[in-house]
Amino acid sequence: MTPTRWILLALCAVLPALAWRLGGASLWYVLLLGYGVAAALAAWALAQDDQLKAALVPRSGDASLGLLPAMVLFGLVSFLVTRVLAPLPELRYFTPDGPWVGRADPHGFQAITEWLRERACAAMGRSWAIHGSARVALVLAIAALEEIAWRGGVQQGLAERFGSTRGWLLTSALYALTQLGTGNPTPALLALPCGFLWGAMFRFRGRLAPSMLSHALFSWALFAHNSSPFVAR
């Protein structure tokens, strides 16, 4: 790991916690600016190793490779939320403090799902200050920059130090752990399988286009599209 990539890792580690603390519109702008700087550092490091062009230039098959996992991920998350955490109408109303209406005296497994639902609603409520096309643009831009920073910067650096497989697995774990800085476990639970999958794309394809596309489409479906099960009505 070069000094540049250590700085990059430190920046990526603090961004989720900082953005969450600020909340509202500031959450989005901090992520955009922070990951923009991190992506620039990652691109510079890749350029120093003569790997920037190979990592960023898309090739045949990248679109299909990015689209299918994004659809599968969103389908699984939608099923988990709407069938396990709560029926669809219950999750459509959320606030920065949790669901608009909580379940009465939950017990057992229902208590666990209610706990997760409260935190999922809090996460969505905290991010809902920006709407419409501006929200879509921010979601897509942040997703792309995040992939350049995490996969092209952090994962590539750890792969050079520990080997490609260990670098991939370690980056996936770090990607989820940094979300714990928000104080909310649901982003970390979501980031672990997502980071593992997007890291695999970079690990086995050596390019960022598939993971950037997959991340952007998944985030658009989850946070920006009006038909998402998480959209407040």
When pLDDT is averaged across residues 143-154 and rounded to a whole number, the result is 95
Question: What is the pLDDT, as a whole number, of residue 230?
Answer: 43
CA 142 to the chain's CA centroid: 9
Bridge partners of residue 99, in order along the sequence: 94
Residue 10: partners with Cβ closer than 8 Å, 6 or more residues away: none
What's the pLDDT band for 9 if we cut at 50, 70, 90? Answer: very high
Q: What is the mean pLDDT of the chain?
A: 83
Instruction: Please check whether residue 58 lies inside any domain of the structure.
Output: yes
Highest mean pLDDT among 56-70, 99-113, 117-131, 155-169: 155-169
DSSP-based three-state secondary structure for 105? coil
Q: Angle at the Cα of 42 (from 49 to 144), degrees rounded to 5?
A: 130
Q: Is residue 47 situated within a structural domain?
A: yes
pLDDT of residue 118: 76
Question: What is the Cα–Cα distance from 31 to 142, expressed in whole angstroms?
Answer: 7
- Opening angle at CA 132, ends 131 and 138, nearest 5: 75
How far apart, in whole angstroms, are the C-alpha atoms of residue 211 and residue 62? 9
Q: What is the pLDDT of residue 227?
A: 40
Q: What is the per-residue pLDDT across 66-120, written as a single tens digit (0 to 9) for each?
A: 888 888 888 887 777 666 665 545 555 566 666 566 565 666 666 777 777 777 7
**Region 129-149 average pLDDT:** 90
Among 19-33, 63-77, 128-142, the least confident range: 63-77
In angstroms, the Cα distances linking 166 to 55, 155, 192 are 19, 9, 15
Start-to-end CA distance of the chain, whole Å, equals 46
Predicted TM-score (pTM) of the model is 0.84
pLDDT, position 4: 87
Distance CA 117, CA 111 (A): 10
Does residue 112 form part of some domain? no
Residue range of the domain that includes 64? 3-83+129-224
More confident site: 173 or 185: 173
In a domain, residue 169? The reply is: yes
Q: Is residue 107 part of a domain?
A: no
The answer on pLDDT for 41 being more than 80 is: yes
**pLDDT of amino acid 231:** 42
- Residue 108 lies inside a defined structural domain of this protein: no
Q: What is the pLDDT of residue 158?
A: 95
Total domains in the fold of the chain: 1
Model confidence at 167: pLDDT above 90: yes
**Is residue 92 one of the residues assigned to a domain?**
no
Question: Can you tell me the mean pLDDT for 46-73?
Answer: 85
Least confident of 32-41, 97-106, 146-155, 182-191: 97-106
Strand partners, 98: 95
Handedness of CA 220, 85, 178, 232 (dihedral sign): positive
Inside any domain, residue 51: yes
Reported as a pLDDT band with limits 50, 70 and 90, residue 213 is: very high
> E strands along the chain, which residues?
94-95, 98-99
